[in-house]
């Protein structure tokens, strides 16, 4: 298998909090990220596809096609938005980077998949020091 990766950038705001807890308890768990009026991040996301090389094109996947899928189904929906209130697939879900990675995966998994390739990972960097990687529900190795 060969792995290909495309990087994306988006800026979004959120408040990470559990609505069942008090502001004090939320502050204890989520720190600055629980600020009641929210705050923003410049996220960096790496989307990796694993597959076999197509003998006609020499590609695992045309990166422009990957770019178009991710832009349409993820980036245009989250860039310069509030992740708590503006994004249909994040409604009712705690806007942590972990949950973002899982929900992003769900948006594009089936569109990337063919009999020769599949989504391998989504890595989201929230700050210079913090990042999350998601590899799907189960290892679907060959």
Catalytic residue, candidates 52, 65, 80, 98: 80
> What values do phi and psi take at 118, rounded to 5?
-155, 160
> Shortest Cβ distance from residue 1 to Zn ion (Å)?
34
> Shortest Cβ distance from residue 10 to Zn ion (Å)?
13
Whether 24 is a known active-site residue: answer: no
Residue 35: DSSP 8-state = -
Whether 52 is a known active-site residue: answer: no
Give yes or no for a contact between 43 and 11, defined as CB atoms under 8 angstroms apart: yes
The interface with Zn ion within residues 11-70 (CB under 5 A) comprises 33
Give the residue nearest to Zn ion (CB): 33
Q: Which is nearer to Zn ion, 33 or 60 (CB)?
A: 33
Q: Which is nearer to Zn ion, 12 or 108 (CB)?
A: 12
CA 83 to chain centre: 12
> Shortest Cβ distance from residue 43 to Zn ion (Å)?
10
Tokens of 49: 């596809």
Whether 126 is a known active-site residue: answer: yes
Helix 63-70 and helix 97-112: axis angle, to 10°? 130
Size of the site for Zn ion (CB under 5 A): 1
> Shortest Cβ distance from residue 131 to Zn ion (Å)?
13
CA pair distance 47, 133, nearest whole angstrom: 10
3-state secondary structure of 28: helix
Q: Give catalytic residues, as residue numbers.
A: 33, 80, 126
Which residues of the shown chain bind Zn ion in the complex (CB under 5 A)? 33
């Amino acid at each position: 298998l060969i792995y290909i990766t495309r990087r994306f950038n988006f800026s979004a705001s959120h408040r990470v909090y559990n609505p069942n807890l008090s502001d004090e308890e939320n502050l204890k768990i989520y720190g600055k990220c629980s600020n009641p009026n929210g705050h923003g991040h410049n996220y960096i996301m790496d989307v990796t596809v694993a597959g076999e090389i197509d003998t006609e094109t020499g590609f695992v996947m045309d990166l422009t096609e990957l770019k178009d899928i991710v832009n349409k189904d993820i980036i245009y929906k989250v860039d310069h938005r509030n992740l708590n209130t503006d994004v249909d697939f994040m409604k009712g879900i705690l806007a942590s980077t972990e949950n973002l990675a899982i929900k992003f995966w769900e948006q594009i998994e089936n569109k990337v998949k063919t009999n020769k390739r599949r989504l391998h990972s989504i890595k989201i960097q929230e700050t210079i020091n913090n990042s999350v990687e998601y590899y799907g529900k189960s290892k679907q190795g060959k």
